[in-house]
Chain A
Amino acid sequence: AQSVAQPEDQVNVAEGNPLTVKCTYSVSGNPYLFWYVQYPNRGLQFLLKYITGDNLVKGSYGFEAEFNKSQTSFHLKKPSALVSDSALYFCAVSSDYSSASKIIFGSGTRLSIRP
C-alpha cells in the first residue's frame, strides 16, 4: 500500500525568501509523485509530477520539487516566495504512472507567505 506524509501542518515564510514544503512517501515499486495546490473554496490544481528521469522536476508558478530515492522524499521548493503562493499544498503518490490509477494524498500543508 502506498502512503505519503507531510510532517508540517503549516509553513510560514516571508515574501522573497525561499520556501520548502516537505513530503515523504512509502510505496512498493516505483513511486509516481505529485504536488497539488488548493486555494480557498476551490478544487485542486496540478503543480508538477515525477514519473521518471531527472530528479529535479519543474512545475507551474515557479515551483519545483526534488525526488530523493534514498530519503524517500519529494520536497516542494520555490526560490522566492510570493504572497499569492499562500494556499494549501498536497503531496500525493500513485503506484502506477497511468492516470487511471488512484492517487493517495497527504494531509496537506498550509503555506502562509507574509508581506
Chain B
Amino acid sequence: GAVVSQHPSRVICKSGTSVKIECRSLDFQATTMFWYRQFPKKSLMLMATSNEGSKATYEQGVEKDKFLINHASLTLSTLTVTSAHPEDSSFYICSARDSLRDEQFFGPGTRLTVL
C-alpha cells in the first residue's frame, strides 16, 4: 500500500514555542490531505482539510491562527502549532488522498508534548 510519513514522530517543546509537523506522501501525489488530532480518550477529531495550492478548510471550533496549515506541494503538508500550550499536547495524525487509487492513507502520527 501507499506510504505516508510524518516527521517528527515525537516532539517535546516548551510552552510558548511553535512546532511544525510534516506530512509526506512518499509514493503518490496528494492534492488533498487531512489533519486529525487524537485525544487521550482515543477519539479522533478532524481538524482541517489541506488542499494543495489553496487555503486549508478548518472544522468548526479549530483555530486557524493557532494551527497553521501549508500544503505547498503535491507531496507535503505541514501543520504548525503556534505558541503551543500544554493543552495542545496530543497525537496528531495526517492522511493523504491518492487520487489515482481514490483512497486515503494515514501517517503514523506525531506525539506532541508541551511542557
Which residue numbers of A lie inside 8 Å of B, CB to CB? 36, 41-46, 88, 90, 98-100, 102-108, 110
19 contacts between A and B (CB under 8 A): A36-B106, A42-B109, A43-B4, A43-B93, A43-B106, A44-B106, A45-B106, A46-B1, A46-B105, A99-B32, A99-B97, A99-B99, A102-B34, A102-B46, A103-B95, A103-B104, A104-B46, A105-B46, A107-B42
Compute how far the CA of A41 lies from the CA of B110 in the bound complex, rounded to whole angstroms: 9
Q: Is the CB of B108 within 8 A of A43?
A: yes
Q: Report the interface size class on chain B.
A: 20 to 34
Q: A108's contact among B1, B32, B43, B102, by CB below 8 Å, is which?
A: B43
Flag whether B49 is at the interface (Cβ < 8 A).
yes
A42 to B31, CA, bound (A): 24
Q: With the chains together, A108 CA to B93 CA distance in Å?
A: 15
Residues of A within 8 A of B36 (CB): 105
Complex interface: chain B residues within 8 A of A106 (CB): 43
Cross-chain contact of B46 among A36, A43, A90, A103 (Cβ < 8 A): A103
Q: Are B42 and A108 in contact (CB under 8 A)?
A: yes
Q: Is the CB of B93 within 8 A of A105?
A: no
Bound CA–CA A41/B1 (angstroms): 19
Give the residues in chain A near B98, CB-CB below 8 Å. Answer: 99
CB contacts (< 8 Å) of A100 on chain B: these are 31-32, 97, 99
- Most chain A C-beta atoms within 10 Å of own C-beta, residue among B6, B34, B98: B34
